[in-house]
A and B are shown apart, each in its own frame.
Chain A
């Protein structure tokens, strides 16, 4: 069974650093952890599956609703801003984790690969060229009129007499959950809870991101063992 650990954090911004050979590496700075385990779900209880709930960033107790306050009180932890769930299907691993325990970035190592999940920047209502990478009009001259960025034909004629479901058109773009896979962890600063990740990460600055061990790398490692 694959155990896939992760943390919730905040995107700070991007910069560049130099490695030992002098190569310039573009990196995203993440404030990752410390996360507190707030709840543990196990297969044998009413939850029916193994998972932990982790929280990030302390919240003022005045801003907590009563039901949530009870939830935090049960775990004997301070209220948190962001709550995320991590599926852990391994009984022994779940046994090692306790409610109230703090998770830090030391679950990763420099050189590891991670998947980063965030909410992409909202782009508003966008046309088909930006939203679906359509090409627009073939021609900009010879009398082409008001058709430069159009999608072209959107269907047939009397049969079927309607537009097929799922036809790509203009509409709202961005502000959706996006995962970028296999990003390299360049540097970990446990004292400041700062992690540098090579490349870009979904979302705006100060948005919350979930960082988990790279699924594809874990799958490959487990298939090799067999």
Chain B
């Protein structure tokens, strides 16, 4: 049985198909492109923020992604409420290999050290696709 709270939240969540396709595959360490709608005066445009997911806080409607990138030598982090209507699309660019749930250690690393190893197909996934 779903609780009253879940029923209320359900109407504000993103559609199931979008959750399955865009949100569920995202994991910590992945590189994503987040498309957000931005209002300038009465015009609207899409802004893309690309970076590494350093935190994925799960919790229904209050789920959020923290994405970090280094822009002109300055570290920039943005927190996106995943289910907000302003977050238009989340695009998965690359999977990464990490051993932690929160990648805060990236903040103290620079340059080459701050890279994350890309995940190529693992053995199990290879078998599944065959």
Contact = CB atoms under 8 A, between A and B. Distances in A.
Interface string A20-38: 1110100001010000000
A29 B85 contact: no
Contact of A194 (B8, B12, B85): B8
Given A15-B61, A16-B62, A22 B4 contact: no
Contacts of A18: 12, 81, 83-85
A147 B70 CA distance: 49
A13 interface: yes
Contact of A17 (B7, B61, B86): B61
Interface string B71-85: 000000000010111
B5 interface: yes
A29 B84 contact: no
B87 to A, nearest CB: 8
B22 interface: no
A224 to B, nearest CB: 33
A12 B5 contact: yes
B85 A15 contact: no
Nearest to A13: B5
Interface residues of B, number: 16
A16 B86 CA distance: 15
A18 B62 CA distance: 10
A142 to B, nearest CB: 37
Interface centre among A17, A18, A29, A196 (most CB of B within 10 A): A18
Contact of A24 (B8, B37, B60, B84): B84
B55 to A, nearest CB: 17
Given A15-B5, A192-B7, A194-B4, A22 B61 contact: no
Interface string B33-73: 00001010000000000000000000011100000000000
B84 A15 contact: no
B8 A196 contact: yes
Given A18-B84, A24-B81, A29 B5 contact: yes
B86 A22 contact: yes
Contacts of A22: 37, 84-86
Interface in B86-110: 86
Contacts of B85: 18, 20, 22
Contacts of A16: 61-62
Nearest to B39: A21
B6 to A, nearest CB: 9
A13 B81 CA distance: 20
Interface in A2-22: 12-13, 15-18, 20-22
A15 B37 contact: no
B83 A15 contact: no
A29 B5 CA distance: 7
Interface of A: 12-13, 15-18, 20-22, 24, 29, 31, 192, 194, 196
11 contacts: A12-B4, A12-B5, A15-B9, A15-B62, A17-B9, A18-B83, A18-B84, A20-B85, A22-B37, A29-B4, A29-B8
Given A17-B9, A24-B84, 16 more contacts: A13-B5, A15-B5, A15-B8, A15-B9, A16-B62, A17-B12, A18-B81, A18-B83, A18-B85, A22-B37, A22-B84, A22-B86, A24-B81, A31-B4, A192-B7, A194-B8
